[in-house]
Amino acid sequence: DTGVSQDPRHKITKRGQNVTFRCDPISEHNRLYWYRQTLGQGPEFLTYFQNEAQLEKSRLLSDRFSAERPKGSFSTLEIQRTEQGDSAMYLCASSQLNTEAFFGQGTRLTVV
């Protein structure tokens, strides 16, 4: 297994456009997490899935954000009508229940 994989690594988009990111977790991990990290800050929790069920969403996850994990394997995070404030590193992690979480390399989003 090659670990958690995120695609794309970098995305530049114009304000108002929609973007979608993909995360492929470690294969035997049933939990998948999305975090956002801005410059100088630690990762901030957005949401997590256990298998295909989305069990928790942060207040940071506005109605322009939606995450899915349809078959309990890979996940997508979509941001609609992007704003400059959405510019950040979007990190995905996976774990087996409450054990240690392993992160992907992240997707760097720049909204211009």
Binding site for other proteins (CB under 8 A): 4, 6, 31, 33, 35, 40-45, 48, 50, 55-56, 89, 91, 93, 97-106, 108
Residue 18 or residue 110: which is nearer to other proteins going by CB?
A: 110
The residue among 18 and 111 lying less far from other proteins, judged by its C-beta, is 111
Between 70 and 97, name the residue whose CB sits nearer to other proteins.
97
Contact 9, 92 (CB under 8 A): no
3-state secondary structure (DSSP) of residue 105:
coil
- Shortest CB 78 distance to other proteins, Å: 20
CB 54 within 8 A of CB 67: yes
Output DSSP code: residue 73: S
Contact 61/47 with Cβ under 8 angstroms? yes
